[in-house]
Amino acid sequence: MDFATAQEKAKSFTKKPSDDIFLEFYGLYKQATVGDCNISKPGALDLKGKAKYEAWNKNKGMSADDAKAAYIKAYEKYAPQYA
């Protein structure tokens, strides 16, 4: 399976993953497609933005290829529960 296929399949999960799982996918996706986090940390009142920032930033230094591989592994891990 390649990264693009894993993305499409993850988008079509029939059950909504928990916020923690969503953030895992989000952080790996951003690292794979953009690289290291390049935005300012959101303010304390922006809880959703802060969670997304932290999910992305925890993958700092990971190469795009490693992030894509980790995304695919995450998809394969969670697909039986949510697909």
Q: What is the pLDDT of residue 61?
A: 98
pTM across the whole model? 0.94
Structural domain boundaries of the chain?
A: 3-82
Half-sphere exposure of 36 (CA within 13 A, CB side): 3
Q: What is the pLDDT of residue 40?
A: 95
As a whole number of angstroms, the distance between CA 35 and CA 61 comes to: 8
Q: What is the pLDDT of residue 83?
A: 87
Per-residue pLDDT 10s for the chain (83 aa) are 999 999 999 999 999 999 999 999 999 999 999 999 999 999 989 999 999 999 999 999 999 999 999 999 999 999 999 98
3-82 CATH fold: Acyl-CoA Binding Protein (1.20.80)
Q: Is residue 31 within 8 Å of residue 3, measured between CB atoms?
A: no
